Amino acid sequence: MLLAYDIGNSDITMGLWNGNAWKVWRIPSRTDQPELFYGIKIRDSFLEADLPTELVEVIVISSVVPGLTDKIKNVVRSLFKREPIILGPGVYDKLPLEVLNPYEIGSDLVANATAAYFKLKQTCVVVDFGTALTFTTVSGKGKILGVSIVPGLRTAVRALSQNTAKLFDVPLEMPTSALGRNTVTAIQSGIVIGYEGLVKSVVLAIRKELNEECPAIATGGLSFVITSLKGFFHTVDPQLTLDGLRIIGELLSEKKNV
């Protein structure tokens, strides 16, 4: 089995691939917690699912939180007795994908681009709805062409609630009307409907610049929030990042064993 870790700013997504499907757990990203905290969380996840740790053969880690990378790496070494693959500049030259600015781009975006490239084999845009809303464009020849980044949906809502005395955090749901009738629906209207236009505008600008009708794939924990965008996307795939890590892990482990 293959175990993948997508360490993000809000959560650590842990996915176990059995050859057919993902078993997924989420752990809050807390840099103030010691290794022991994560060791217990990961061990308990396997115990509760009645999964022996010996089943894990390959481990891949993507992290955009430097303060957690070594903690998770040390924990998985101890629990699974395996050396994890750390997705980063040190392995990018071994991938069948040309990575733009390898020391700047987030490893999660590289995983997204890898999965999209292998799934579609054509120029496409990955829209990742996470703490940040990112647009990663990959060519049909396997080259990351560029990235656009804006604050994510929840980040935008929190910025309002934290910096405005009379506003507060609200649930991220598609409002029934663009005319907010109270504080909650006013924020939902502005953020959710506003981001619908933002997503379309960025993707259409990319298509215009490339002069291609490249499909857009949505992923990330908030990819289902803007329901009106469902028809705009070629696919909504919440496990795209994990699939990218799986593909990378399989490729690199095969090369290592050759």
Beta-carbon neighbour count of residue 153 at 10 Å?
23
* Rounded CA Rg of the chain: 19
For residue 230, report the phi and psi dihedrals to the nearest 5 degrees. -55, -45
Question: pTM of this prediction?
Answer: 0.91
Torsion sign over Cα 224, 102, 85, 39: negative
pLDDT of residue 258: 41
Domains of the chain and any CATH numbers: 2-86 (3.30.420.40), 100-238 (3.30.420.40)
Q: Is 108 one of the annotated active-site residues of the chain?
A: yes
Low-confidence ranges of the chain (pLDDT < 50): 258
Helices 35-48 + 66-80 axis angle, to 10: 50
Residues 6+ apart with CB under 8 A from 23: 15, 16, 49, 51
For residue 228, what pLDDT is reported?
87
Q: What is the mean pLDDT of the chain?
A: 90
Which one of the listed residues 44, 70, 108, 243 is annotated catalytic?
A: 108
For position 189, what pLDDT does the model report?
87
Give the integer Cα–Cα distance in Å for 11 and 26.
6
β-partners of residue 86 are 61
pLDDT of the residue at 225 = 85
Write phi, then psi, for 13 (nearest 5 degrees): -95, 120
For the segment 184-217, what is each residue's pLDDT rounded down to a tens digit? 888 888 888 899 999 999 999 999 999 988 999 9
Q: Judge residue 214's burial from the number of C-beta atoms within 10 Å of its C-beta, 0-12 exposed, 13-18 middle, 19 or more buried.
A: buried
The whole-angstrom separation of Cα 203 and Cα 232 is 10
| CA dist., res. 63 & res. 241, Å (int) | 12
